Amino acid sequence: MNNLSIIQNGHYSSDYGLKTSDEITAMYNAEEFYDATRKSWVVGNGREDEKYVIATYRGLTRKVYEIIEWYQIDVNGKTRWGFNGHRPVESTAR
Protein backbone atom coordinates (compact mmCIF):
# COMPACT_ATOMS: atom_id res chain seq x y z
CA MET A 1 0.00 0.00 0.00
CA ASN A 2 2.95 2.39 0.28
CA ASN A 3 3.29 2.52 -3.53
CA LEU A 4 -0.08 4.17 -4.22
CA SER A 5 -0.20 7.43 -6.10
CA ILE A 6 -2.80 9.61 -7.79
CA ILE A 7 -1.98 10.02 -11.47
CA GLN A 8 -5.26 11.55 -12.72
CA ASN A 9 -5.36 15.28 -13.28
CA GLY A 10 -8.12 17.12 -11.47
CA HIS A 11 -11.49 17.50 -13.11
CA TYR A 12 -11.58 20.46 -15.54
CA SER A 13 -7.82 20.93 -15.12
CA SER A 14 -7.48 21.20 -18.91
CA ASP A 15 -9.46 24.47 -18.76
CA TYR A 16 -6.77 26.17 -16.67
CA GLY A 17 -3.03 26.69 -16.90
CA LEU A 18 -0.77 27.18 -19.89
CA LYS A 19 -2.27 26.84 -23.37
CA THR A 20 -0.98 27.10 -26.88
CA SER A 21 -2.37 29.83 -29.12
CA ASP A 22 -4.22 27.13 -31.11
CA GLU A 23 -5.95 25.90 -27.94
CA ILE A 24 -7.00 29.43 -26.97
CA THR A 25 -8.31 30.09 -30.48
CA ALA A 26 -10.27 26.84 -30.41
CA MET A 27 -11.81 27.73 -27.05
CA TYR A 28 -13.05 31.17 -28.07
CA ASN A 29 -13.24 31.48 -31.86
CA ALA A 30 -16.90 31.07 -32.86
CA GLU A 31 -16.24 30.67 -36.60
CA GLU A 32 -13.70 27.91 -36.01
CA PHE A 33 -16.18 26.12 -33.76
CA TYR A 34 -18.84 26.33 -36.44
CA ASP A 35 -16.56 24.96 -39.16
CA ALA A 36 -15.28 22.16 -36.95
CA THR A 37 -18.79 21.24 -35.78
CA ARG A 38 -20.72 21.28 -39.04
CA LYS A 39 -18.69 18.82 -41.12
CA SER A 40 -18.17 15.06 -41.45
CA TRP A 41 -21.10 13.67 -39.48
CA VAL A 42 -21.99 9.99 -39.73
CA VAL A 43 -25.79 10.15 -39.64
CA GLY A 44 -28.62 8.20 -41.18
CA ASN A 45 -32.00 9.07 -42.62
CA GLY A 46 -33.21 10.49 -39.29
CA ARG A 47 -30.90 13.49 -39.64
CA GLU A 48 -33.76 15.60 -41.05
CA ASP A 49 -35.51 15.34 -37.69
CA GLU A 50 -32.57 16.81 -35.79
CA LYS A 51 -32.96 20.50 -34.93
CA TYR A 52 -29.80 21.38 -33.00
CA VAL A 53 -26.14 20.42 -32.68
CA ILE A 54 -24.13 21.02 -29.53
CA ALA A 55 -20.40 21.79 -29.87
CA THR A 56 -18.27 20.67 -26.96
CA TYR A 57 -14.58 21.12 -26.26
CA ARG A 58 -12.81 19.26 -23.48
CA GLY A 59 -16.07 18.20 -21.92
CA LEU A 60 -17.72 21.62 -21.81
CA THR A 61 -20.54 22.90 -24.00
CA ARG A 62 -19.19 25.80 -26.04
CA LYS A 63 -21.85 26.54 -28.68
CA VAL A 64 -25.29 25.41 -29.84
CA TYR A 65 -26.24 25.57 -33.52
CA GLU A 66 -29.65 25.34 -35.13
CA ILE A 67 -29.57 23.13 -38.24
CA ILE A 68 -31.06 24.70 -41.37
CA GLU A 69 -30.12 22.00 -43.89
CA TRP A 70 -27.88 18.95 -44.36
CA TYR A 71 -25.53 18.41 -47.32
CA GLN A 72 -23.53 15.37 -48.42
CA ILE A 73 -19.71 15.26 -48.18
CA ASP A 74 -17.26 12.68 -49.55
CA VAL A 75 -14.47 11.93 -47.05
CA ASN A 76 -11.91 9.43 -48.34
CA GLY A 77 -14.55 7.66 -50.42
CA LYS A 78 -17.08 7.53 -47.58
CA THR A 79 -20.35 9.45 -47.39
CA ARG A 80 -20.49 11.93 -44.54
CA TRP A 81 -22.85 14.82 -43.85
CA GLY A 82 -22.41 18.47 -43.06
CA PHE A 83 -24.98 21.06 -42.07
CA ASN A 84 -25.61 24.72 -42.66
CA GLY A 85 -26.96 26.47 -39.62
CA HIS A 86 -26.66 29.33 -37.19
CA ARG A 87 -26.64 30.04 -33.49
CA PRO A 88 -30.20 30.39 -32.25
CA VAL A 89 -31.24 33.73 -30.83
CA GLU A 90 -30.91 33.67 -27.06
CA SER A 91 -33.97 34.57 -25.06
CA THR A 92 -33.73 37.62 -22.84
CA ALA A 93 -36.84 36.65 -20.87
CA ARG A 94 -36.24 35.52 -17.30
Residue 5 lies in a domain: no
Residue 78 lies in a domain: yes
| Position 16 pLDDT exceeds 80 | no
Question: Structural domain tally of the chain?
Answer: 1
Residue 31 lies in a domain: yes
DSSP string, the chain: -TT----SPPTTGGGSS---HHHHHHHH-HHHHHHHHSS-B---GGGGG--EEEEEETTEEEEEEEEEEEEEEEETTEEEEEEEEEPPPPP---
Domain that holds residue 47: 19-86
pLDDT in tens, 76-87: 999 999 999 998
Q: Is the model's pTM score more than 0.85?
A: no
Residue 41 lies in a domain: yes
Position 49 scores a pLDDT of 93
pLDDT in tens, 18-66: 778 877 776 666 677 788 889 999 998 899 999 999 988 778 888 899 9
| Position 2 pLDDT exceeds 70 | no
Q: Who has greater pLDDT, 39 or 2? A: 39
Residue 26 lies in a domain: yes
